[in-house]
Structure 1
Amino acid sequence: MSQTLTPPPGSAPAPGRAVQPAHPGQPGGQTGTASLTQAQERAERRAGVRSALRRTPGKLRIALAVCVLASIVFGALGFQAARVQGIALEDARSDTSQLVGIQDVRNNLVVADASATNAFLVGGLEPADQRARYDDAIANASIRLAELAGSNSADATELGVVASQVTVYTGLIEQARANNRQGFPVGSAYLDQASTLLRDEILPTLTTLVDDNAERVASDLSMVRNAMWILAAGLLCLALLIVTQVWLAKRTHRVLNVGLLVASIVLLVVGVGGAVLLSQTNSAAAAVRDGPYAATLAASTAYSEANDAKAMESFTLIKRGSGQTYEESFVELTADAAQRLDQAAADGNLDGTSAGYLDDWVVQHQAIRALDDAGDWDGAVALATSADEGGPNAAFAAFSQTVTSDIAENIKATQADLASAGNRSALAGWLLLAAGLAAAVLAWRGLNVRLEEYR
């Protein structure tokens, strides 16, 4: 019989013989066994978690987390909706102020131009009141340009250019005056240059800035409306609490859970109240847009166009028989101004008084044109420059006083209404946030009571 020889300890295995794996208890098998044990432990933990979540206590913990999170999200979304509204309203106030300020600059410049051209008709030393009106208008325009350039960086470059051009314009007007006092015909050429600079460069730039700010205001007010969608998303969180309340009633065979019930009531009541406040804010913003803000734009634009037309009236006479183009501009400007004021009165935003005074002045203008067209140029100039009560300048002064009062009242109402709407929105935001946090605490306490029953 053959014998199997066992190699001595420490010797290499015989060729062709397989190496036996190490015993699990030996060092060679420790790494693989440890990895297998860790994987088994992780799998057991996951299985334990799944098993725990399938049981009622586990489901209660999930419901508790969902309700608390939903309540917090509700408050956060409500606060954010109000915050978006508040920011939009503040931006609308700022952009509205900027827009009206730019229109004020435009109005002052056309008032100055109308005064300068009307005074030019007198010849020699112009009337002191018209000179004072011109100086005041230019000074106001210059001050407002500096203020507006500093209040909105988006308009600063263009307003800086306008300020430089106004300096050139006033220099040309002074040249026109100096020559007109001495009876030099070249004075009208300087007046033409000043008018061309004003109407071809300065006023178009200001009009573009007005349009840009009007777009910003419209965008701001649309954000007030869009904030309602954020609140609508927050109200979905209330549905989660109601669903949980129904599930809990079926699961525990108890109709009510006081904590959840009170949390749901808090969210419902404050949610409805907050929605009403934010909706009122949205309505208030829309009312401002269609009310005093629209009236401000209409009155301000009409005032600017009327003063521009006043300058055209003077230029028609200055050109002595070759001013038909200026008369056509007068008709277009006054027709558009009247249409704006009539529409504002029809919408209930203005009382129609300024529109009536504008019509009176246009009728007076027809008397000037009748004299000039009949060959009585001197009579037409005398009527156009007369300060007598019942004359064209008196009618224009009555219109100016009324329409500037309309502008001041409506911009004041616009700012006040937007500020009031912003305060209402801020109140709604804090109420919604507080309600969300309170509901989170109530939901936690209500569900925690049920969890305690399983311990």
Structure 2
Amino acid sequence: MSLTTMPVPGYGRTVPDPPGRPAVGLGTTVRQTFSGSPGRLRLIAIGAVLAVLFGAVVGAVALKARSDALSRASSSATHLLRLQGVQTNLAQADADSTNSFLQGGLESQAQRENYLSSMEAASKDLALAARHSQADAEALGEVNAALNRYSGFVASARANNRQGLSVGASYLTTASDLLEADVIKPLEERAAADQRAVDDAFADAATYRWILVLAVVVGIGGLVAAQVAVTRHSHRYVNLPAAASTLVLVIALAGAAVAMTTAQSQANDVRTDSLRPALDLSTSRVNAFQAKAQESLTLIEQGSATDEDPLWTPKFDAARDLATGEGAQELDAYAEQHEKINALDVDGAWRSAVRQATSAADDSANAHFTKYDEVTQKQLESAEAKTTQDLAGAGDALVPTAIVLLIIGLLCAGGAYWGVSFRIDEYR
């Protein structure tokens, strides 16, 4: 008996795979992600995160920028005070050299030592000041060269004077003119540039508060707007993570505002209470020493004295206008003695005028001027120390505050997204 095998329909033919799902493009995925209420909530969450990060980052930038501006102000102020110190030392050295010249070969050892120490201090500070910038290096390099020529003329004047040679007076006059034109004037120009730099730095520091205001408006405003939008979609009025993030960010930005305001206030106080008095004292001393030197130079140039005393008077007036307290009193007492010296010179009693101008008696011009020097030097040292210390520390809290603000900003951004994600989950 045989079996008949029936062929199976379709046996041996290739059966195609069932059709798959069509590929989904990136654009479609994006549209699906941000479509409907869940998609809009995702956009709100991203907007809240960006607003918080903007507020934190921009706020931190504002804090760091103000810190940098105050650092520039401190650096420029320190350099300015150093240049003023150089001018004072050089004016003092010139006053000592001219007054001791009047004594001929019997120059005061104390004045000689003061001259040398003043020149040494000026040279050291000049070298330090030249490192501040390229412009300072170039300008102060020329000043240093002129200062070397000045000291050479003074040495020649002293040598000729000890031998009784009249040419010494010519050397000394040349030295004083050189000091005024090629040393003091360039130093004043560099000091003026530093003063502008200080003013610009303070102005920049004040401007950065508006950047912080922008950070507050965008950061807080963005979070509040996001919560309002979520409330409209979910009809729930409180979103605890988002609300907590808003509160913490408000506190952080308020702390940043306090730190910024405090730093600026401290810097302004230093500028008004320490830097300005220090500059005034320094300027007073420079002019006073120049007046003292001119007193001696007028006597050295016998027969040049007049009742108006046109070269001494403006220098003294400039010094007196900026002097205060005991320093002003001693300067007034010196002026009384100077008027007597000048009157003797005008009347032809030149030797008597020289004796009074070089006297070290308790009520002499030199004694009162020395007291003025001592009093104002102590006041200046105190003001300079306070300026340097307080201005350098005014912005110390700004950078740490900026770092804390960034960390808090990241946490608040996470909290804002977390809060909105609760509402997104309700649609799943």
Fold equivalence (TM over 0.5): yes
SS in 1 for 2:391: helix
Instruction: Give the letter for the 2:120 counterpart.
Output: A
Whole-Å separation in 2 of the counterparts to 1:363 and 1:66: 77
Query: Which deviations, in whole Å up to 9, do the C-alpha atoms of 1:196-254 show, x marking residues without a partner?
Result: 11112111111101001111111111111111121111112211101111222232111
Residue 265 (str. 1) matches residue 247 (str. 2): yes
SS in 2 for 1:270: helix
1:52 Cα offset (Å): 5.2
Match of 1:256 in 2: 238
1:364 Cα offset (Å): 2.0
Residue 195 (str. 1) matches residue 168 (str. 2): no
Instruction: Give the letter for the 1:94 counterpart.
Output: S
Match of 2:146 in 1: 165
Residue 385 (str. 1) matches residue 358 (str. 2): yes
* Equivalent residue in structure 1 for 2:318, among 313, 322, 336: 336
Match of 1:345 in 2: none
Whole-Å separation in 2 of the counterparts to 1:173 and 1:323: 23
Match of 2:415 in 1: 442
Query: Which deviations, in whole Å up to 9, do the C-alpha atoms of 1:82-110 show, x marking residues without a partner?
Result: 11111111111111111111111111111
Match of 2:257 in 1: 275
Match of 2:16 in 1: none
Whole-Å separation in 2 of the counterparts to 1:325 and 1:211: 34
1:210 to 1:65, Cα distance in 2 relative to 1, 3 A: same
Instruction: Give the letter for the 1:141 counterpart.
Output: A
8 A contact 1:122–1:385 mirrored in 2: yes
Whole-Å separation in 2 of the counterparts to 1:429 and 1:224: 15
Query: Which deviations, in whole Å up to 9, do the C-alpha atoms of 1:140-174 show, x marking residues without a partner?
Result: 11111112112333300111111111111111001
Residue 361 (str. 1) matches residue 334 (str. 2): yes
SS in 2 for 1:151: coil
Query: Which deviations, in whole Å up to 9, do the C-alpha atoms of 1:351-374 show, x marking residues without a partner?
Result: x23222222221221121232233
Query: Which deviations, in whole Å up to 9, do the C-alpha atoms of 1:395-436 show, x marking residues without a partner?
Result: 111111111112211111112222221112223322322221
SS in 2 for 1:255: coil
SS in 2 for 1:422: coil
Match of 1:319 in 2: 301
Bigger mean CA offset, 145-154 vs 55-64: 145-154
Whole-Å separation in 1 of the counterparts to 2:329 and 2:201: 34
Residue 177 (str. 1) matches residue 150 (str. 2): no
Whole-Å separation in 1 of the counterparts to 2:288 and 2:261: 39
1:284 to 1:104, Cα distance in 2 relative to 1, 3 A: same
Whole-Å separation in 1 of the counterparts to 2:33 and 2:91: 81
SS in 2 for 1:327: coil
5 Å-filtered alignment, 1:296-307, equals 296-307=278-289
Whole-Å separation in 2 of the counterparts to 1:444 and 1:276: 28
1:394 Cα offset (Å): 1.1
1:165 to 1:48, Cα distance in 2 relative to 1, 3 A: closer
5 Å-filtered alignment, 1:76-91, equals 76-91=57-72
Whole-Å separation in 2 of the counterparts to 1:435 and 1:363: 67
1:56 to 1:290, Cα distance in 2 relative to 1, 3 A: same
Match of 1:129 in 2: 110
Whole-Å separation in 2 of the counterparts to 1:183 and 1:337: 34
8 A contact 1:266–1:439 mirrored in 2: yes
5 Å-filtered alignment, 1:13-162, equals 46=27, 49-50=30-31, 53-162=34-143
SS in 2 for 1:454: coil
Query: Which deviations, in whole Å up to 9, do the C-alpha atoms of 1:272-301 show, x marking residues without a partner?
Result: 121111012122222222221111110111
Whole-Å separation in 2 of the counterparts to 1:208 and 1:324: 31
1:69 to 1:123, Cα distance in 2 relative to 1, 3 A: same
Whole-Å separation in 2 of the counterparts to 1:325 and 1:258: 86
8 A contact 1:313–1:327 mirrored in 2: no
5 Å-filtered alignment, 1:416-427, equals 416-427=389-400
Whole-Å separation in 1 of the counterparts to 2:137 and 2:356: 42
1:336 Cα offset (Å): 1.4
Instruction: Give the letter for the 1:305 counterpart.
Output: N
8 A contact 1:75–1:436 mirrored in 2: yes
1:46 Cα offset (Å): 4.6
1:446 Cα offset (Å): 1.1
Residue 454 (str. 1) matches residue 398 (str. 2): no
Number of paired residues? 406
Instruction: Give the letter for the 1:206 counterpart.
Output: L
SS in 2 for 1:70: helix
5 Å-filtered alignment, 1:227-266, equals 227-236=208-217, 237-266=219-248
Whole-Å separation in 1 of the counterparts to 2:272 and 2:372: 24
8 A contact 2:66–2:205 mirrored in 1: yes
8 A contact 2:160–2:166 mirrored in 1: yes
Identity of aligned residues (%): 33
1:325 Cα offset (Å): 10
Whole-Å separation in 2 of the counterparts to 1:425 and 1:340: 35
Instruction: Give the letter for the 1:169 counterpart.
Output: Y
TM-score (norm 2): 0.90
Instruction: Give the letter for the 2:187 counterpart.
Output: L
Instruction: Give the letter for the 1:395 counterpart.
Output: H
Structure 1 runs not aligned, ≥5 long: 1-36, 343-351
Structure 2 runs not aligned, ≥5 long: 1-21
SS in 2 for 1:387: coil
Whole-Å separation in 1 of the counterparts to 2:357 and 2:284: 21
Whole-Å separation in 2 of the counterparts to 1:101 and 1:169: 20
1:340 Cα offset (Å): 2.3
TM-score (norm 1): 0.85
Match of 2:3 in 1: none
* Equivalent residue in structure 2 for 1:287, among 259, 269, 280: 269
SS in 2 for 1:146: helix
Match of 2:376 in 1: 403
